[in-house]
């Protein structure tokens, strides 16, 4: 049974195209077994790692390893689960906008499953694909997928808003301008749904074989103003909490970096993670961390090491927890909730 679940998950993760549709029963359909895209992401990640390996001084690494505080690394990993809890709360608030549909525990499970899918699906799109598992628990197809889209839109909007401020503060005018434009694009359907071209969005979704009822989709975006403010505040707090996690993690290493500096650079590092042509953003994030740490005199060897450990704590560990949730869900059967 365990092997069958693992095989099913691997098929899901390595399929090149994902889409959800209604055909007798709701299921994930794999268009074709095209391994070109996963292979491309693997090759790009390998290229990044080769470049990064040239930045690592084995002598510096050997001297630094005994100084790493594993207890603080563990504390930072536990701390990161606070961001996961906030994301689950945000998902719950959006889905329960007009009526109670999901409890916090199930929202947390769906969020963790999103981390599992993000290990292999580019640009953190696993946060959308996870809606399949929410449907299997609650049987609400349109609401789960629409909610996942709204949730992702709030996350990106808050990220680009912080990225605009961060880019301006650091003197990166182009990055600040791009972040500002992206913030405006993601903010339009959230706060001005009447002005958004929904037919265009549905047309884009249909290219991925995702068919949604237009009225239900629009209704999901029409949250009350107080709820929108709370959801946006939660989204902003996610990035601040993530900055705190990264700062605590840095204190486990023999480096000196301020919390303020981490808060400023974290949005730009996170934006880089949206690069779609690597596995779990492996490579681009390390390059970004190395660059920003180099500006304050931190050796590239330690910067790469910190970034890789952060990737393990913030992606691999939650992804493993999400995989356990998938196994538990598989044993409980269709439409059975975790609670």
Nearest to 273 by CA among 163, 176, 165, 177: 163
Structure tokens, 180: 């500002």
Identify the pLDDT of residue 35.
56
Low-confidence ranges of the chain (pLDDT < 70): 1-42, 45, 122-129, 205, 208-212, 275-283, 329-339
Identify the pLDDT of residue 34.
53
- Residues 108 and 325: beta-carbon distance below 8 Å: no
pTM: 0.78
Nearest to 231 by CA among 221, 243, 245, 216: 221
Identify the pLDDT of residue 118.
80
Identify the pLDDT of residue 242.
92
Identify the pLDDT of residue 7.
39
Identify the pLDDT of residue 125.
61
Identify the pLDDT of residue 279.
56
For residues 18 and 256, give the distance between their C-alpha atoms in angstroms, rounded to a whole number: 43
Identify the pLDDT of residue 24.
38
For residues 336 and 106, give the distance between their C-alpha atoms in angstroms, rounded to a whole number: 11
Domain boundaries, the chain: 43-332
Identify the pLDDT of residue 11.
38
Identify the pLDDT of residue 29.
36
Length of the chain: 339
């Amino acid at each position: 049974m365990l092997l069958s679940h693992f095989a099913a998950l691997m098929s899901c993760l390595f399929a090149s195209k994902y889409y959800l549709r209604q055909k007798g029963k709701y299921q994930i359909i794999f268009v074709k077994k095209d391994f070109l895209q996963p292979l491309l992401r693997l090759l790009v990640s390998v290229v990044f790692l080769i470049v990064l390996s040239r930045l690592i001084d084995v002598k510096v690494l050997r001297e630094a390893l005994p100084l790493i505080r594993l207890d603080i690394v563990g504390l930072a990993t536990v701390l990161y689960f606070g961001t996961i809890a906030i994301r689950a709360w945000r998902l719950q608030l959006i889905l329960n906008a007009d009526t109670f549909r999901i409890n916090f525990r199930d929202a947390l499970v769906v969020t963790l499953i999103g981390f599992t899918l993000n290990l292999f699906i580019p640009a953190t799109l696993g946060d959308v694909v996870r809606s399949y598992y929410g449907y299997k628990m609650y049987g609400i197809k349109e609401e789960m997928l629409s909610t996942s889209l709204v949730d992702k839109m709030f996350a990106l909007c808050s990220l680009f808003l912080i990225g605009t401020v961060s880019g301006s503060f650091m003197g990166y005018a182009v990055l600040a301008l791009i972040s500002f434009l992206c913030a405006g694009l993601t903010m339009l359907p959230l706060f001005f749904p009447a002005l958004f071209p929904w037919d265009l969005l549905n047309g884009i979704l249909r290219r991925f074989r995702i068919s949604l009822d237009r009225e239900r989709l629009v209704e999901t975006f029409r949250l009350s103003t107080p709820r929108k403010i709370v959801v946006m505040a939660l989204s902003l707090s996610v990035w601040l909490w993530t900055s705190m996690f990264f700062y605590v993690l840095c204190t486990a290493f023999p480096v000196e970096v301020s919390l303020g500096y981490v808060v400023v650079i974290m949005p730009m590092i996170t934006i880089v993670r949206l690069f779609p042509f690597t596995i779990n953003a492996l490579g681009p994030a390390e390059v970004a961390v190395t660059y920003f740490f180099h500006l304050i005199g931190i050796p590239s060897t330690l910067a790469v090491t910190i970034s890789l450990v952060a990737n393990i704590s913030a992606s691999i560990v939650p992804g493993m927890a999400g995989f356990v949730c998938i196994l538990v869900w598989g044993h409980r059967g269709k439409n059975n909730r975790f609670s």
